[in-house]
Amino acid sequence: MRLLIVEDEPRIREDITAALAASGFACDTAADGEDAWFLGDTENYDLVVLDLGLPKMDGLAVLKRWRAAGHKMPIIILTARGAWPERVEGIDAGADDYLTKPFRMEELIARVRALIRRSAGLSHGVIETGDLTLDTRQMRIWASGAPVAVSPLEYRLIAYLMHHKGRVVPAGELIEHLYGDDDARDANALEALIMRLRKKLGSTAIETRRGFGYLIAEPQA
């Protein structure tokens, strides 16, 4: 899952990014409203954490422009304690949730996971397809009922494919959601990662559609 963290305070931005990265998310960051607007308008994110008090363009303006442009990614807004009019206006403008500063990172992570589950139509946090089961809350994977040990990068890959099961995901899209803004965007590295997962999950768990991308297929009825 690929997230955008928009926060002008460096320490808070770094803390949020570190906590979410440790929880298995790839994170891009922005420190002002103009950069945030551009990234949200040109990149595909599974969720945005958006501070409202931003330089250059305030967070509420960014939020309204994204929604007016038709962008539907879930958005959690961050507001100052006691700024209840901002929270109301943010929800009215299309935010999906809010947190009041200061907040606990555990709560932010829980809300991020809940919103991603909701946006994927998952109320209980478990995705099943064929012999594979993914628990997004415990970040665990089972194949044919047996637990499978995976690295954080392997988990991010299989989780993204299972959230998009039944759809061929292009290699470039997978690389973006695995690495975010990192320079390690190598198609050969992606193929090696998929080969490792096939050894752990079964040779047919992830299909390759040559020239198109990768697929976890829906079971045939």
Tell me the CA distances in angstroms from 122 to 82, 115, 156, 157, 200, one per residue in order: 32, 9, 17, 18, 25
In the chain, which residues have pLDDT < 70? 81-84, 120-125, 180-185, 220-221
Predicted TM-score of the model (pTM): 0.65
Q: State pLDDT tens for residues 189-205.
A: 888 889 999 999 988 88
pLDDT at site 123:
47
Domains of the chain in sequence order: 2-119 (3.40.50.2300), 126-215 (1.10.10.10)
Tokens 């829980």, located at residue: 110
Count of beta carbons in the 10 Å neighbourhood of residue 215: 17
171 Cα distance to chain centroid: 17
Q: What does the pLDDT look like over 164-221, one tens digit per residue? A: 888 898 888 888 777 765 545 577 788 888 999 999 998 888 998 888 899 988 776 5
